[in-house]
């Protein structure tokens, strides 16, 4: 077991700012010591990673998607490697909202004192509203990320995020269930992601998270079947980063909401590029599965790169293109 990194994240953020590289960001009134957070589904509830480093280094933690009822997820195999990325078809496996509220969030809070972002997924407008309403009572949850973009479930998922009217309806329903910041997580599998973002803005969203995985597939030449049990899985990793940045930039110019940029981020330079495209903060996804220390490494490298590039704070480079 690696030795846990011991640090006081807020004090460390102050020290970085005094050194000429202010990494702090503000998301809808919630201050993050830095813009780096793990993406939903790649970090569980943080319990495995807490054995490797101090979770308080992270700007925020986005929990694995929770649904009202427990879910086993899709059948195995549901992970496959591919060039410059990976495929997954997990299928929203989770223990359900009651366990999440009584066990997972309290356990995470014992080890992490920063903002917790609760990722929520469901299969109907009413289901989303009910789940958010239940979770809204938890003071430990700082904000919500509503997953209307999962590419590997048969009902709901990305079909919600591909229809502007449905996206707006779900946003509006969730908005009525909480007064906490509400970020809508969008699918890239659409003709115009800007139109979906505008619909979420009209429905009362406080921010946009993008992107989720691209629908993709691989075939085993010997069995002549797809490598994953589900025919189509979600492509993530560095292969999608340039497309993710393009979509972040499109949405940045289409709405007046903060954006959390997601897609293939592995380094401090990737973070700076994503912020230059228009993101206020970022999430690191599949890179966590390859290198569990990737988030603290990015956080350590980020102020150094900022100083080298003459960047004093992240606000000055946001959306420069």
Mean pLDDT, range 192-213, rounded to an integer = 97
Domain boundaries, the chain: 9-317
| Residue 10 confidence class, pLDDT cut points 50, 70, 90 | low
Contacts of 90-95 spanning 24+ positions with Cβ under 8 A:
90/41, 90/152, 91/152, 91/153, 91/230, 92/65, 92/67, 92/121, 92/150, 92/153, 94/64, 94/65, 94/66, 94/67, 94/70, 95/70
- % pLDDT > 90, the chain: 89
Which residues, at least 6 apart from 41, have a Cβ–Cβ distance to it below 8 Å?
A: 64, 65, 88, 90, 119, 285
Which residues, at least 6 apart from 198, have a Cβ–Cβ distance to it below 8 Å?
A: 164, 254, 255
Check: CB of residue 141 under 8 Å from CB of residue 26.
no
pLDDT of residue 151: 57
Measured CA to CA, the distance from residue 226 to residue 208 in angstroms comes to 32
Q: Is 150 a catalytic residue?
A: yes
Backbone dihedral region for residue 146 (phi beyond 0: left; psi -120 to 50: alpha; all else: beta): beta
pLDDT of residue 303: 97
pLDDT of 22-65, one tens digit each? 999 999 999 999 999 999 999 999 999 999 999 999 999 999 99
CA atoms within 13 A on the CB side of 230: 21
Distances (CA, A) of 5 to 49, 50, 296: 11, 10, 9
How buried is residue 269: exposed, middle or buried, by Cβ count under 10 Å (0-12/13-18/19+)? middle
pLDDT over threshold 50, residue 79: yes
Mean pLDDT, range 200-215, rounded to an integer = 97
Measured CA to CA, the distance from residue 46 to residue 64 in angstroms comes to 9
pLDDT of 260-313, one tens digit each? 999 999 999 999 999 999 999 999 999 999 999 999 999 999 999 999 999 999
Task: Considering the candidates 82, 150, 174, 295, report the single residue annotated as catalytic.
Answer: 150
CB atoms within 10 A of CB 142: 20
Note the pTM of the prediction, 2 decimals: 0.93
| Residue 12 confidence class, pLDDT cut points 50, 70, 90 | low
What are 125's two structure tokens? 């407008």
| Residue 160 confidence class, pLDDT cut points 50, 70, 90 | confident
Of the candidates 179, 174, 27, 182, which has an alpha carbon nearest to the alpha carbon of residue 114? 27
Check: CB of residue 280 under 8 Å from CB of residue 25.
yes
pLDDT over threshold 70, residue 156: no
pLDDT of residue 19: 65
pLDDT of residue 6: 40
Q: Containing H/E element for 287?
A: helix 287-290
| Residue 4 confidence class, pLDDT cut points 50, 70, 90 | very low
pLDDT of 113-148, one tens digit each? 999 999 999 999 999 999 999 999 999 999 999 999
pLDDT of residue 7: 45
**Domain 9-317 falls in which CATH fold?**
TIM Barrel (3.20.20)
Measured CA to CA, the distance from residue 34 to residue 282 in angstroms comes to 10
What are 299's two structure tokens? 């956080």
Backbone dihedral region for residue 215 (phi beyond 0: left; psi -120 to 50: alpha; all else: beta): beta
How buried is residue 47: exposed, middle or buried, by Cβ count under 10 Å (0-12/13-18/19+)? middle
The alpha carbon of 256 is separated from its chain's Cα centroid by a whole number of angstroms, namely 19
Measured CA to CA, the distance from residue 211 to residue 277 in angstroms comes to 13
> DSSP class of residue 295?
H
| Residue 5 confidence class, pLDDT cut points 50, 70, 90 | very low
């Amino acid at each position: 077991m690696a030795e846990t990194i011991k640090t006081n994240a807020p004090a460390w953020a102050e020290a970085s700012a005094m050194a000429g590289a202010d990494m702090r960001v503000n998301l809808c009134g919630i201050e993050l010591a830095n813009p780096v957070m793990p993406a939903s589904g790649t970090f569980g509830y943080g319990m495995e990673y807490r054995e490797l480093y101090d979770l308080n280094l992270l700007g925020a933690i986005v929990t694995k998607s929770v649904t009202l009822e427990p879910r086993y997820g899709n059948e195995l195999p549901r992970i496959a490697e591919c060039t410059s990325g990976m495929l997954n078809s997990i299928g929203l496996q989770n223990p359900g909202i009651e366990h999440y509220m009584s066990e997972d969030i309290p356990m995470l809070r014992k080890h992490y004192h920063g903002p917790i972002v609760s990722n929520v997924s469901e299969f109907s407008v009413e289901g989303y509203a009910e789940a958010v309403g239940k979770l809204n009572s938890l003071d430990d949850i700082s904000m919500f990320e509503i997953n209307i973009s999962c590419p590997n479930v048969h009902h709901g998922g990305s079909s919600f995020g591909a229809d502007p009217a449905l996206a707006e309806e779900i946003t509006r329903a969730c908005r009525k269930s909480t007064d906490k910041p509400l970020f809508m997580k969008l699918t890239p599998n659409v003709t115009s992601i800007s139109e979906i973002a505008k619909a979420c803005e009209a429905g009362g969203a406080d921010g946009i998270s993008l992107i989720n995985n691209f629908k993709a597939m691989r075939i085993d030449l010997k069995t002549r079947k797809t490598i994953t049990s589900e025919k189509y899985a979600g492509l993530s990793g560095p292969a999608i980063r340039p497309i993710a940045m393009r979509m972040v930039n499109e949405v940045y110019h289409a709405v007046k909401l903060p954006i959390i940029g997601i897609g293939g981020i592995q380094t401090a330079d990737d973070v700076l590029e994503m912020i230059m495209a228009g993101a206020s903060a970022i999430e690191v996804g599949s890179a966590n599965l390859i290198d569990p220390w990737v988030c603290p490494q990015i956080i350590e490298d980020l102020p150094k790169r900022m100083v080298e590039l003459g960047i004093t704070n992240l606000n000055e480079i946001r959306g420069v293109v």
